[in-house]
Structure 1
Amino acid sequence: MSVARCPGSCGEIIQGWILGSEKLISCPIDWYSTVEVRDGSPLANERPLTRATLETVLAHFGYPAALSQTLRVEVHSTIPIAKGMASSTADIAATAVATAHHLGHRLDEAELAALCVSLEPTDSTLFDQLTLFDHQQACTRIACGPSPEFDLLVLESPVILRTADYHRLPREAALQASAARLHQAWEKVQAGCASNSPERLGEAATISAIASQALLPKPEFATLLSLVESCGLYGINVAHSGSVVGLMLDRHRHDVEYLRWALAQQKLSDCWPKQHLVSKVSGGVQLST
């Protein structure tokens, strides 16, 4: 048996038209999908994408397709689905690494990224560092270096939106219209990582979140933005292809309970009834030992 886990994401730090095409930098958080791959018959209720991932890994290493029927995949995850929290990427990446390890192989990040993108648009949570990633073709992956630590109050909406549905929207004109702002956000991400500044990352995320309103608007966004400013938070980030929003902060510096109270006072809890205090973490798939 092999076990691997991959973090989910609180949306993206930035996403948009950067360096000539749509790219993103996911925001990995301490909320994981853990996958076990073992010998055994497939389960009747397996997630279709994890089975497809296992079969893709078998093909990658030259195994016969029939071997799939002798391997079982079990997923343990509470990451909300279809909210923009990278639940599918976490499942797929962890399954791929666990399957490869079970068969006596390893996948480097480039191989893993290409494999995942062959199945669906993929978040950059599978990389160890914050990474600018071409999530549809895997042609670009630029590591940003070690990133500053921060926390997020994740605001979860009941609204669901599958990534595939988002990618069917006509987006290119709106993305290109915001290209200059996203280039500025990309520069701020690099500066934030170079100077260990969560404030810079927050500025970058806020720029990208504002630009995202033209494509997938979040309710009461202006009110949320005012709350971020009045409370002196680092910034606001969003799921550009989902419904989740993150308020970027330091739980030791900012008053999280006051923030929850303010959300309720301004009726924002009606839009975001579930709230989760999480920490930004390093990305990458980890094997259990």
Structure 2
Amino acid sequence: MSTVAAACPGTCGELFQGTLDGVPCLVSCPIDRYARIRVTARPGEGLSLPGEMSKTRRALENFLERRPLAGRNLVVERLEALPEGKGYASSTADILSALACAATLAGISLPPEEASSIALSVEPTDSIAWPGLALLDHREGRIMRFLGPPPPLTVLVLDWGGTVDTEEFNSRDSRPVLSSLAALHREAFSLVLRGVEQGDPETLGRGASMSARAAARLLDKPRLDECFALCSLLEGHGVCVAHSGTLYGILLPSGAAGREGDILETAARRLSPGWEGKVHSLVPGGPRTEERKKSP
């Protein structure tokens, strides 16, 4: 019997989401809050998962069609879950963690492109399979581009509650609005890309802020203006949002991570009531293997 556990970072929405040359794509904002999955291979066949993990089941079925594990029954446990319907990339993080476990049990390395393709066979997917930041066509995978390591940033993650039905959101015909935003999206992505390539959090923050403003044309973001006001007060670099979720992120200098108490006190004085917040770090994407053991 062999057991592997893996974790994959969730996100505070996206640093960029829009269309580039007519292709919908995004750059996720991975943070140090993780989904954790454990997979145990026992004698037998098939998959054993909790009923609520149907998306992870479908992804593993796809993986096993490509990379059969004959004679082994995979038992999947969710050790730590991310909140759903908010913009934490909960489904993608679960899927990538489970795929990393299955690949380790199969004795193979699963490239981020293949892992993302498997995830895309289940649903629109976040760009967190790569060990850094990446641009991904989150619907069809026509664009998969590793951008580089994230610049040093702290993210104040804010949520006023509620959820967004991401399947309903992704089924909308937003093409007319997206078409009108095409030039803005191109400029926003160029800034995010330059920020990554130059390790410049200020430039990246400007691009994320442009993308956040554009997102409000597709899904109401009622707290966006006060988030920008708080960002200015905290001398931050910009604001990101979950384009199909409820999260807002204030992009702060990396040294802000040690001032969480002061930051939250300032937020409490300035923001409308009803929010929850926590300070996180921007981290590279990609699943991390955390446990590996074999027993007789």
TM-score calculated relative to the size of structure 2: 0.89
Considering only aligned residues, what root-mean-square deviation do their CA atoms show, in Å?
A: 2.0
Q: Which is further off, 131-140 or 258-267?
A: 258-267
Q: 1:161 aligns with which of 141, 160, 164?
A: 164
What fraction of aligned residue pairs are identical, expressed as a percent?
32
Q: Distance in 2 between matches of 1:177 and 1:266?
A: 33
1:51 matched to 2:57? The reply is yes
Q: Distance in 1 between matches of 2:4 and 2:150?
A: 30
Aligned-partner SS, 1:181:
helix
Indicate the residue corresponding to 2:272 in structure 1.
268
Report the Cα offset of residue 227 of structure 1: 2.1
Q: Which is further off, 242-251 or 8-17?
A: 242-251
Contact kept? 2:9, 2:285, Cα under 8 Å = yes
Indicate the residue corresponding to 1:26 in structure 2.
28
Q: 2:112 aligns with which of 106, 109, 113?
A: 109
Q: Distance in 2 between matches of 1:247 and 1:107?
A: 33
Q: What number of residue pairs does the alignment pair up?
A: 284
Q: Distance in 1 between matches of 2:108 and 2:256?
A: 44
Contact kept? 1:121, 1:163, Cα under 8 Å = no
C-alpha change, 1:163 and 1:259, in structure 2 (3 Å) is: same
Q: Distance in 1 between matches of 2:239 and 2:50?
A: 41
Contact kept? 1:208, 1:237, Cα under 8 Å = yes
Q: Deviations 1:125-153 (Å, cap 9, x if unpaired)?
A: 11112111101111111222223110111
C-alpha change, 1:225 and 1:46, in structure 2 (3 Å) is: closer
Q: Distance in 1 between matches of 2:284 and 2:21?
A: 24
1:141 matched to 2:144? The reply is yes
Report the Cα offset of residue 277 of structure 1: 0.8
Aligned-partner SS, 1:263:
helix
1:248 matched to 2:254? The reply is no
C-alpha change, 1:71 and 1:185, in structure 2 (3 Å) is: same
Q: Deviations 1:103-140 (Å, cap 9, x if unpaired)?
A: 22331111111111001111001111211110111111
Indicate the residue corresponding to 1:60 in structure 2.
66
Gapped regions of structure 1 (runs ≥ 5): none
Gapped regions of structure 2 (runs ≥ 5): none
Report the Cα offset of residue 267 of structure 1: 4.3
Report the Cα offset of residue 256 of structure 1: 4.5
Report the Cα offset of residue 46 of structure 1: 5.5
Q: Which is further off, 209-218 or 105-114?
A: 105-114
TM-score calculated relative to the size of structure 1: 0.91
Greater strand fraction, Structure 1 or Structure 2: 2
Question: Which letter does structure 2 place at the counterpart of 1:17?
Answer: T
